[in-house]
Amino acid sequence: MDIEYIGAFGIILGALARFWPVWTALAIILVLSLRFKKSLGLYGQLFDTGVGVAGVMICLFWLFTAIFAGTVAPFDPLAQFPVMKSILPGAIEPGSGQAFLFGGDRLARDVFSRMVYGSQIVLIIAPAATLFALMVGTTLGLPAGYYGGRVDSILSFLANLVLAFPVILLFYLLVTPGIRETPIPQWMAGFFFIFPIVFFSLLFYTRFRGRPELLAIQLALTLVIGGWVYAGLVFDADPLGIISISSNQLNIFVAVVFASSPGVFRIVRGLVMDIKTRDYVAAAQTRGENPWYIMLWEVLPNARGPLIVDVCLRIGYTTILLGTLGYFGLGLAPESPDWGTGIKESSRLLRASVHPALPPVFALMSFVLGLNLLADALREQSLKD
């Protein structure tokens, strides 16, 4: 069967046109952000510099791509069209009349659609795993930096023990099939995922312990919502069937949290050791405030600037790690459209054709670049403050 093609100009216009809901959302966000930036706090200040605008727009581009993936992608990312196997960019699929804008891979799947749907996987796993790592590192770093002494020595030793292990080898061990078949990942998930519940329980208790009725409501909501999420993530036992995670995704989550938490811990510990010497902390101690109240409501808010910057950078690192795991076949399922798996599948065709590898590589690179630009802009604003 003869395959018809569209030219390079048609490919570019076609790709840009497929992203129409993303461009619309970006335009609305940009106009509203510039219009009300003075009242948007730190977010509004990002639009004072070109670096900040670029970082925000790139990150939002991929966020909206993930949200509107069903509209942007012309094909199902897992659908196979035998006549389109390893097809060149611009080929028109005879059945639907839609073009394989970026060509087809070795299994006759649309590379463009797989790149688009891959953003959903990356933008769910990388930020969520980073936030869990932030919860673990913060919850342990606060007492280590504030109390010092034996508490600091024990927690710092454990953190340094993990940091001393090669990261790639650590990830390999945690997601290798031999470990995946054991209950170890689930045990680790059960341990790590309890930290957000502990963190928010302490947060509300120290703030509202003098108002028992309000405290009871806050703790009840924390335990109910936290327990619901915990049951869904760790045991896949969400009674509503809303929250669930595959075993591969759970292993990656655990690996990212385990590897990233010590870095967050050291940053929080160092910030707390500096901030606890400030006058307002001494004033709170003089008032007889609970140590956890001081840590959570006096120290932590004043450490938010460096932590926000670190979170942006860490999401980028996590994205690269996900790509690395996918490339080595240690990430998600082989049919997954995540960018790392896409690069791995395409690498087998590099001698014959380079086009299947370029879209996931560009997607990963641009998203990490956007996060780095955003982190740079946030760092500049934190220095001004």
pLDDT tens column, 200-240 = 999 999 999 889 899 999 999 999 999 988 888 888 777 77
pLDDT of 67 reads 95
Q: Is the pLDDT of residue 249 over 90?
A: no
Q: What is the pTM of this model?
A: 0.88
DSSP state of 181: T
Looking at per-residue confidence, does 159 or 184 come out higher? 159
Q: Are 342 and 111 in contact (CB under 8 A)?
A: yes
For residues 93 and 326, what is the distance between their CA atoms, to the nearest angstrom? 28
pLDDT of 352 reads 52
Q: Are 265 and 310 in contact (CB under 8 A)?
A: no
Reported as a pLDDT band with limits 50, 70 and 90, residue 22 is very high
pLDDT tens column, 99-109 = 888 888 888 88
For 170-176, the CB contacts below 8 A with 24+ separation are: 170/255, 170/258, 170/259, 171/255, 171/259, 171/321, 171/324, 171/325, 171/330, 172/328, 172/330, 174/251, 174/254, 174/255, 174/258, 175/248, 175/251, 175/252, 175/255, 175/325, 175/330, 175/331, 176/330
Reported as a pLDDT band with limits 50, 70 and 90, residue 140 is very high
Average pLDDT over residues 1-20: 87
- For the chain, domain boundaries: 8-119+332-384, 120-320
| Helix or strand holding residue 92 (H, E) | strand 91-92
Reported as a pLDDT band with limits 50, 70 and 90, residue 355 is low
For residues 144 and 356, what is the distance between their CA atoms, to the nearest angstrom? 48
Q: Is the pLDDT of residue 174 over 80?
A: no
Q: CA distances (Å), 296 to each of 199, 263, 290, 302, in order?
A: 9, 19, 10, 10
Average pLDDT over residues 23-42: 91
Percent of the chain with pLDDT over 90: 39
Q: Is the pLDDT of residue 129 over 80?
A: yes
pLDDT of 221 reads 93
pLDDT of 13 reads 93
Q: Is the pLDDT of residue 137 over 90?
A: yes
Instruction: Supply φ then ψ for residue 374, to 5 degrees.
Output: -65, -40
Looking at per-residue confidence, does 227 or 167 come out higher? 227
3-class DSSP state of 91: strand
Say which residue the tokens 């900040």 belong to: 52
Looking at per-residue confidence, does 239 or 54 come out higher? 54
Reported as a pLDDT band with limits 50, 70 and 90, residue 3 is confident
DSSP state of 4: P
pLDDT of 181 reads 66
Average pLDDT over residues 103-131: 89
113-122, 294-303, 322-331, 374-383, range with the lowest pLDDT: 322-331
Fold observed for domain 120-320: MetI-like fold (1.10.3720)
The top-scoring range by mean pLDDT among 15-29, 95-109, 165-179, 271-285 is: 15-29
Half-sphere exposure of 304 (CA within 13 A, CB side): 8
pLDDT of 331 reads 64
- How distant is the alpha carbon of residue 351 from its chain centre? 33
Reported as a pLDDT band with limits 50, 70 and 90, residue 124 is confident
**Average per-residue pLDDT for the chain:** 86
